[in-house]
Structure 1
């Protein structure tokens, strides 16, 4: 019988120590249904320098000489362990000693995949056995392929009684599925909604687990899914002595609790991946003032939750459960639909799938830049006959600088061009062959770096990895696959951060400095070339230069000048790098933006130009004027909506030479009359527990302490008696009036003077009579 072949996509990975070795388990999606791949009797592996003695007392290990070296060129031996715990024992024994283990910190499941160059898509070849709802294969062959399947999903949300700690209802939805499980009797609560009634919480939990097995999704979507919904469900199952069999094939799931403060919970669900909307939007670099579901849904979908943020949510849930359970069911289901629609609107599932394909990281994993680098780099390093040290094996006294930020020339300008180096740091790595292996074995004719680093012209790995990712991103752009393009961009741009992080096994200040200091040199020499050509540079920021054209340029001439400068500067860099380093330049400067009007502000209260803060007017792709703000109040979440709206309108009027004095005066009058109170709300996130704030307690913490159950983000106003929660003020529970002078002094005046300064005007002059009367 010939082995069967399946195109598969990895979902989850697991391992456990057995009597005869380590058992690896992988769950994967396939068109033939879920696959469970089992590899019994595997060994844990690490390496050690051949001339290093090994403390073997009580540790069972097999040692073999290998045709490999470490990064210093010394030959190494392989150490093989029947159980992972034996390797861990050796790690604990050698911690803090002079004995250096090599790659002992790589998980056995990750090594198994990376040595086969499998990230997520793979071809599985083996003999299947039909199990209950899935196919099982023992020791199948796996190899990488191109495969991007449509993964099945359900969006999940639960509603609870905050006082009794019970789960009241559970809703889930997905393609062709809309369902609510709720405690109660159908005869008591007639409804057209797809409600499945159960008698009590225990039956609710059992029914939920059974239906998840029947519907059998690859992915579970949610909002604060792991930290709340899944953690809550597991705890309630435990209270009823119900096994939390959320995994495929009835396998038990576990919500792993954080070991240290600040760590997140992890959902271990065999065969299924939990994807939290908040975490994955952040991973894809989406930004919102608040990641509350109500706020994000309104911004992306134009819809809100059925119980609004202005209501006492818990009290309303309890009331609906007592008086109107179909309304609670509708609310529960709508939350699921909002999450599902946000994932679709942002193409998040595609982004997560592409990220796993590019990096080898688990679908549900957040962060993991160092692990992604290992997954891509180590298999290639091993093919070069070299193994790496453990993370933290070496300590360095030198440091590397961050990105270069040029001193700005503050002012109000016309016609400013932005020339931007496309992916500058990845381009530097490609051009100057910056690479851990290449630095370890530089050869006879190396390319100079910084801090005495030297890099091999031929023997290197990282430039090739980036070149392949670069080509993939260009292809993704051509196909208009924004999710793939964004995933690749994030990966490429993370490589400098990885090499500059002490959490990376290849960390060395010479590597990071050879990237950042080269970036400094490229920006400053570009500025010098532009100014020698007669074009003043008023600012530079990591990978961009801001070129002042000034008056006398219409938009067509400014665009033509920008394109010409980009062509000539690229040509100059190609020639310069070929002459000075004898390599081909991968640098590419692009004409990015024409600011028709532009302001570079000062640092507040000084004449010094600010950094990473500016605003201007561009013409967008629709041919319309558009205001762009960078780092200023209108795009900062710690400023009030009023200050943000005021800045945008004031800047617009000044940019387009419209009257502004009456606008400022009228707004101050409206503010004092209490007509703008809803726009005076500050929103700030709690970074720690309330009890952790003991000295210099900030306003949002003072407000949070007045709430019965504060959430992660606190909304508050400044009153004459100090910070008050917004919900207290607007519900009449706060008797203190708003401190309007605070908002004038701290929000409106600083915003106004940030631009009026350049017109020899001031907020005080315009509002002098009003403030005197006030």
Structure 2
């Protein structure tokens, strides 16, 4: 029988009378496939020197095995094999209480089964004749998606369920129909009660069998509300594959979010998926994201108007509510398609071993990749907190030289921290092994670290991911290249956090301080060739060429510098340490004009803040801002527009005086009032803000008082976004009547700081331009 390729959708384990059973669901070209692996044991490790004490404390059924493994103190360890995972978690409490360390009890059985076989997500499944489950790294399935959205009352009472996917456009609506209902171009079915709504959803899932459920806050709102209704109504909600009891729901509470694990059917939230793929939006509301990406959004934007409109449609025009419900589903489907989110998640799962629906979790991804390599080097992982959380230095940031410059090059090290790990063999196992050798036989690190030259895991991991990313870029596979970039760049962050079991300040410091040394020497090499370095930041070096250069000439100089410095590293590291250099300095760009501002109110140069003018992809001049008002959400659109226009004038040598005066005059005349609105986020419930009240909190309190007066629900019980103006009466929300704008605030607090960051470099000042008489004295 021919082998079948599959892609892992979900994993779970359960206790049985014969031990643990692992249950995996896969997508295949011929439909979903379930694989059950019976009679598995849970595994942990403990010091062999305490065997007698361990035997005395072990419950019945736990087996001890001698293994060729040691802990990070280089002490031999025993394997503890339990028929139930809960027994292992009991040992996690019982053995430490007797002073006996126990390792790796937190690795879930299904995860351990996969990682020890080097399986991430794509596999070759066992045939009917048997055989192992094997990794098959090139397989990617075509997944059938369902975009799910519900509409409710303000009290969370279910009105309708919208479904878009598997070739279907379906809405189930709580009936009866209303007299004003219009004809629709989708399937609309009215049902008698909410229990029937849930039963129709169950039946749709069984009939059309999607592989993945997608939505917008779909888990924390839609699935949670459906689950709460099912529980109250006594209906079995069956959204997964297999038996209903295979679906698991955790209600959450006390700071814990609602959780749902559906057998064979991941639930992917669009908001979290976008963030994990490094998409950035000022607001992740469906309205804002869809308008930004698709050029269209929801028909009703204001949340209070939206709720009133939903109630009005439910009472008198249910077909309009059904259309509104379905449009939300379709917007999510189109956003996923536009951003290739599902393809990105498939590639990420193939690289990291993370479940499709799990976001963030860079530490878990690191464990999945690192632990099996570490085991084969003869080690078990330390426990969390094995090393004290001593701080390590951050990335390199050079003191800048403020000024307005012509012709500044940016030279950037490609993936600096991963390249340092790979070049200098920085690795948890390598540190343990290196410290056991004489100093002259190891690779030096920092803060007492020394690394073994041949026994390590992480450098090979970096090399494999690096080469995979380069191959993905050559093949035009942007989602895979992005997934590989994210995981590779996460390695330093993982090793640098005390939340990782491998945390050791010597590891993190050996990366960051080595980076400092590389950047300092890069500056010396550049300045030895007659150029001036005006700034450096983590992995980028900004080089002033001293005078205006044509684009081709500037690029030639940049590439010559890059070639010389890369050759220097290859020669020096081989001669001094016997190491192959993987440091790769690249020519990034040429700014024909470049501003390095001062710290506001001071004379020294700022850090992580600059602006420049360079050729864009279309050949037209492109403004680039880093850390300045234009790219910061806490500045008004007025300041951002003023900065873009003023800087372009100065960078291109155009007169700026009349522009500044005219912009201020138009601001004071009210011509630009649509640019005065601040939009900021409250990250905590409103009532938690008690002292030093910011303008956004004051505005939110005024809005809440208005909502209470009108009988509306609170908007800020969990935080949220507030849009407000600074008026002559202070900060006021835009949604309610307010005093006239405080134009003095906008001129003095928004326009003046923007202007005075650049005008002194051309011999001017904002106040001089606004007061002609001041120029006479």
Q: Give the distance between the partners of 1:227 and 1:187, measured in 2 at CA.
A: 31
SS of residue in 1 equivalent to 2:371: helix
What does the per-residue CA deviation read over 1:289-315, in whole Å, with 9 as the maximum and x for residues that have no partner?
A: 111111111111111211123862111
What does the per-residue CA deviation read over 1:515-561, in whole Å, with 9 as the maximum and x for residues that have no partner?
A: 11100000000001111111100000000100001323111111111
Instruction: Select which of 728, 739, 742 maps to 1:739.
Output: 742
1:425 aligned partner: 417
SS of residue in 2 equivalent to 1:312: helix
1:135 aligned partner: none
Structure 1 residue 140: deviation in Å? 6.8
Describe the shift of the 1:23–1:149 C-alpha distance in structure 2 as closer, same or farther (beyond 3 A).
Answer: same
Instruction: Select which of 718, 729, 740 maps to 2:726.
Output: 718
1:757 aligned partner: 760
Structure 1 residue 187: deviation in Å? 7.7
Q: Return the TM-score normalized by structure 2.
A: 0.93
Instruction: Select which of 268, 271, 287 maps to 2:280.
Output: 287
Is the 2:732–2:738 Cα contact (8 Å) retained in structure 1?
Answer: no
SS of residue in 1 equivalent to 2:600: coil
Question: Is the aligned partner of 1:593 residue 2:589?
Answer: yes
SS of residue in 2 equivalent to 1:407: coil
What does the per-residue CA deviation read over 1:400-433, in whole Å, with 9 as the maximum and x for residues that have no partner?
A: 1110110111111110000000000110111111
Q: Give the distance between the partners of 1:724 and 1:457, measured in 2 at CA.
A: 63
2:59 aligned partner: 59
Describe the shift of the 1:768–1:311 C-alpha distance in structure 2 as closer, same or farther (beyond 3 A).
Answer: farther
Q: How does 1:17-32 map to 2 (within 5 A)?
A: 17-32=15-30
Q: Give the distance between the partners of 2:214 and 2:253, measured in 1 at CA.
A: 24
1:347 aligned partner: 340
Question: Is the aligned partner of 1:82 residue 2:87?
Answer: no
Instruction: Select which of 575, 578, 581 maps to 1:582.
Output: 578
Q: Give the distance between the partners of 1:326 and 1:671, measured in 2 at CA.
A: 45
SS of residue in 2 equivalent to 1:595: strand
Structure 1 residue 574: deviation in Å? 1.1
Q: How does 1:263-662 map to 2 (within 5 A)?
A: 264-309=257-302, 312-392=305-385, 394-396=386-388, 398-442=390-434, 443=437, 445-662=441-658
Question: Is the aligned partner of 1:13 residue 2:11?
Answer: yes
Q: Give the distance between the partners of 1:121 and 1:494, measured in 2 at CA.
A: 22
Segments of structure 1 that go 5 or more residues without pairing to the other structure are 129-138, 729-733
Structure 1 residue 770: deviation in Å? 12
Structure 1 residue 258: deviation in Å? 4.2
Q: Give the distance between the partners of 2:233 and 2:80, measured in 1 at CA.
A: 46
1:731 aligned partner: none
Describe the shift of the 1:308–1:91 C-alpha distance in structure 2 as closer, same or farther (beyond 3 A).
Answer: same
Q: Give the distance between the partners of 1:576 and 1:280, measured in 2 at CA.
A: 43
Is the 1:234–1:254 Cα contact (8 Å) retained in structure 2?
Answer: no
Q: Give the distance between the partners of 2:168 and 2:411, measured in 1 at CA.
A: 50
Between 1:683-692 and 1:644-653, the stretch displaced more is: 683-692
2:769 aligned partner: 766
Describe the shift of the 1:296–1:741 C-alpha distance in structure 2 as closer, same or farther (beyond 3 A).
Answer: same
Describe the shift of the 1:296–1:187 C-alpha distance in structure 2 as closer, same or farther (beyond 3 A).
Answer: closer
Between 1:185-194 and 1:494-503, the stretch displaced more is: 185-194
Is the 1:193–1:330 Cα contact (8 Å) retained in structure 2?
Answer: no
SS of residue in 1 equivalent to 2:74: coil
Is the 1:59–1:89 Cα contact (8 Å) retained in structure 2?
Answer: no
Between 1:671-680 and 1:469-478, the stretch displaced more is: 671-680
SS of residue in 2 equivalent to 1:54: helix
Structure 1 residue 20: deviation in Å? 3.0
Q: Return the TM-score normalized by structure 1.
A: 0.94
Describe the shift of the 1:187–1:684 C-alpha distance in structure 2 as closer, same or farther (beyond 3 A).
Answer: closer
Aligned length: 752
Q: Give the distance between the partners of 2:212 and 2:152, measured in 1 at CA.
A: 23
Question: Is the aligned partner of 1:666 residue 2:674?
Answer: no
Q: Give the distance between the partners of 2:658 and 2:318, measured in 1 at CA.
A: 53
Q: Give the distance between the partners of 1:97 and 1:718, measured in 2 at CA.
A: 63
Segments of structure 2 that go 5 or more residues without pairing to the other structure are 708-713
Q: Give the distance between the partners of 1:310 and 1:50, measured in 2 at CA.
A: 62
Q: Give the distance between the partners of 1:664 and 1:555, measured in 2 at CA.
A: 30
SS of residue in 2 equivalent to 1:313: helix
Instruction: Select which of 165, 174, 177 maps to 2:168.
Output: 177
SS of residue in 2 equivalent to 1:197: strand
CA RMSD of aligned residues (A): 2.1
2:47 aligned partner: 49
Describe the shift of the 1:451–1:617 C-alpha distance in structure 2 as closer, same or farther (beyond 3 A).
Answer: same
SS of residue in 1 equivalent to 2:100: coil
SS of residue in 2 equivalent to 1:40: strand
